Structure 1
């Protein structure tokens, strides 16, 4: 696993050497509450600055902090250059975000030691791009990801399966990759507080607590992960979403519904640009105390229309909102598929739409009887390339990698 260190901030320092050695942070608009720290340099982190910290609080803690707006195009160029270097070693690469990816070096490791390969990759990225990275070496993806977090910046760590009881089991379960705050709280109710306790819990107990995900986490806690490095994963879009941080802690229902309308429009635009539809709509709510809530609904037929997305998102919101001030809202359409491949299920609610098209199908049948099957088809869709075709910035970089 290659994990770039403080990527956005490091790219800014590489472009402007005067920023090196200084506390810098990438943030949104400092004049609004969108001014939240996205990432910061290690110099800033040493002074207590962390991701998601409010800009005002960050400046009070570190008055000399240099705030920079995000330059996404600059980061995409750097990401593409980094993955180009990785591809000079192997094509078995699975990018997982703009600044990290898995490499399967099994074939080249037969002639060179993995540590030698890792050192060379790390030095090339540093000398050619002026960017630091950490590398985790392990027999599977979970352990490689865990190892990449062990030494930052510019670290190289090896984590073997036999090392798991000594190095991972004593750690709090919240430090395990794949375990968030909510999952950690659920595990705590079953007296599972360390990774070791998770690894050794009876299977039926963890299944009752977390279902299939619990079984998967228990396997990871034992160092087991059968997932292969999948280069084709960059061609898969699993969800399309959009979220926004509100300028103030909002309590006015009308303003919140207006925000949902804008979000639904952006999600629908992105779905339309990619000719996708999805069967599940989810909303994300973050209140003023930074508590996250989500609610979702799955439909029989895939959806992509702005009005439908908005209407269902608002319904979900009304069911879950208790009137507390809202800091952030988001909408995601998941379980997406190509619209051409989606098949509507005929029901009492949509059979009339099909009935209206029946005369058209009869005409098509007559033409095909005379001129042959496929003589008449639906209009050809002309693909459009625009910013909307990108599901979100975190996935935009994938479009660059598909060109290689």
Structure 2
């Protein structure tokens, strides 16, 4: 979907069409941050992460709106329902993006895609861009090539022409840090990556390097999986203590060690998570688990440990402990981190975003300490509130 939140606002208020719009978490504050904006605003230089007062200097006529979560979720559900009227093979990736497999549908595929785009615009009054290809990776790349209201087809034989000349930073799945590492091998374009030596890539990036090389060559065997939207996995680690412990410092040190192992496993899986659970088994073998759901993603050891220790201290009553466990839950692929992040608690979320580009931009411009942290806790993980950008999953039950 193109400039989804701003487009939804314009669909509900036709007088906003064609005007520069920005959605900001707190537009009344001069230090409020623009989290998304219309293409009319972008043409005036307004960008995501920009402070509202800076945006207004560039575009005095900018219309700054508060987010309306209910409207965005309703629009998302309507969009995915429309896609499912063609096929059940629809895989939501985020509130405004997904894959669909049209292999078995009759008719000319490009004409079908045009019909889908026209229907979304006509029935929902929302613009979108669509990528068409033999697999997920190429379709994702194609969908970003023409915005707004673009349709881009990439065939396998067109990879050299359409994909390889692009800068490596534009490749889906390559973040800024990975791009910097690849630059050390003189890899500056997707074509460079496609032709790179496998041994060098594996040495530099591990198995992820080989996966990225395959993607650059147009290879992606992943199927469109409608069930993946419900796939909440976890990565955890626990240990039975050599003796029952009551020393708080020792127990917190063990939680730090467990958090480090969990972080390492998340790295190896290229995953991040939005939930945290701590398990405590006492001397009498009574076991409790306490969980919380966060609006920002967990990935780094220091942040996992910070929240795990806080959760432990909140629920430990001083009784001797014989086992401790730390688990990160509600996992998401790192490549979708931007889509999973809750844009409307942006100042809190962005500090923890493992794709550090946004955080760096904010702190370079406005100084260290501008970002703060927020969390929501619950004894029952399944009833815990989630961030807005993950709440859309509830609409697919």
Aligned twin of 1:389:
385
Compared with structure 1, are the counterparts of its residues 120 and 57 closer, same or farther at alpha carbon in structure 2 (3 Å cutoff)? Answer: same
Q: Which of 271, 286, 306 matches 2:311?
A: 306
Per-residue displacement from partner, 1:320-346 (whole Å, max 9, x unpaired)? xxxx8233355899xxxxxxxxxxxxx
Aligned twin of 1:123:
118
1:15 aligns with 2:12: yes
Normalising by the residue count of structure 2, what TM-score does the alignment of the two structures yield?
0.67
**What SS does the corresponding residue of 1:327 show, helix, strand or coil?**
coil
Q: Which of 182, 185, 207 matches 2:202?
A: 207
Distance 1:54 1:107 in 2: 47
Gaps of 5+ in 2: 236-273, 280-288, 317-325, 327-351, 353-366
Compared with structure 1, are the counterparts of its residues 204 and 399 closer, same or farther at alpha carbon in structure 2 (3 Å cutoff)? Answer: same
Aligned twin of 1:192:
187
Larger radius of gyration: 1
Cα root mean square deviation, aligned:
3.5
Aligned twin of 1:140:
135
1:227 aligns with 2:222: yes
**Are 1:268 and 1:306, in contact at CA under 8 Å, matched by a contact in 2?**
no
Per-residue displacement from partner, 1:116-170 (whole Å, max 9, x unpaired)? 1101111111111101111110000000001111111111110112111111111
**Are 2:26 and 2:32, in contact at CA under 8 Å, matched by a contact in 1?**
yes
Gaps of 5+ in 1: 241-265, 285-293, 318-323, 334-380
Distance 2:203 2:314 in 1: 33
1:41 aligns with 2:41: no
Distance 2:146 2:276 in 1: 41
Normalising by the residue count of structure 1, what TM-score does the alignment of the two structures yield?
0.66
Aligned twin of 1:84:
81
Distance 2:117 2:371 in 1: 37
Q: Which of 74, 92, 97 matches 1:95?
A: 92
Aligned twin of 1:216:
211
Q: How many residues align?
A: 295
Report the CA distance between 1:56 and its aligned residue: 1.6
Compared with structure 1, are the counterparts of its residues 308 and 218 closer, same or farther at alpha carbon in structure 2 (3 Å cutoff)? Answer: farther
**Are 1:303 and 1:309, in contact at CA under 8 Å, matched by a contact in 2?**
no
Compared with structure 1, are the counterparts of its residues 26 and 227 closer, same or farther at alpha carbon in structure 2 (3 Å cutoff)? Answer: same
Q: Which of 38, 56, 60 matches 1:59?
A: 56
Distance 1:54 1:309 in 2: 36
**Are 2:34 and 2:48, in contact at CA under 8 Å, matched by a contact in 1?**
yes
| 1:323-338 equivalence runs, <5 A | 325-328=368-371
Per-residue displacement from partner, 1:9-48 (whole Å, max 9, x unpaired)? 0000000011011001101113447621111111111111
Compared with structure 1, are the counterparts of its residues 238 and 27 closer, same or farther at alpha carbon in structure 2 (3 Å cutoff)? Answer: farther
**What SS does the corresponding residue of 1:75 show, helix, strand or coil?**
helix
Report the CA distance between 1:299 and its aligned residue: 9.3
Compared with structure 1, are the counterparts of its residues 326 and 295 closer, same or farther at alpha carbon in structure 2 (3 Å cutoff)? Answer: farther
Distance 1:40 1:303 in 2: 36
**What SS does the corresponding residue of 2:129 show, helix, strand or coil?**
strand
Aligned twin of 1:261:
none
Q: Which of 295, 309, 329 matches 2:300?
A: 295
Aligned twin of 1:376:
none
**Are 1:283 and 1:295, in contact at CA under 8 Å, matched by a contact in 2?**
no
Compared with structure 1, are the counterparts of its residues 71 and 91 closer, same or farther at alpha carbon in structure 2 (3 Å cutoff)? Answer: same
Aligned twin of 2:66:
69
**Are 1:283 and 1:332, in contact at CA under 8 Å, matched by a contact in 2?**
no
Distance 1:329 1:182 in 2: 23
**What SS does the corresponding residue of 1:122 show, helix, strand or coil?**
helix
Compared with structure 1, are the counterparts of its residues 34 and 237 closer, same or farther at alpha carbon in structure 2 (3 Å cutoff)? Answer: farther
Compared with structure 1, are the counterparts of its residues 184 and 393 closer, same or farther at alpha carbon in structure 2 (3 Å cutoff)? Answer: same
Aligned twin of 2:357:
none
Between stretches 324-333 and 33-42, larger displacement belongs to 324-333
Compared with structure 1, are the counterparts of its residues 303 and 237 closer, same or farther at alpha carbon in structure 2 (3 Å cutoff)? Answer: farther
Distance 1:89 1:304 in 2: 48
Aligned twin of 2:159:
164
Report the CA distance between 1:212 and its aligned residue: 1.3
Per-residue displacement from partner, 1:295-329 (whole Å, max 9, x unpaired)? 326999x96972469999xxxx9xxxxxx823335
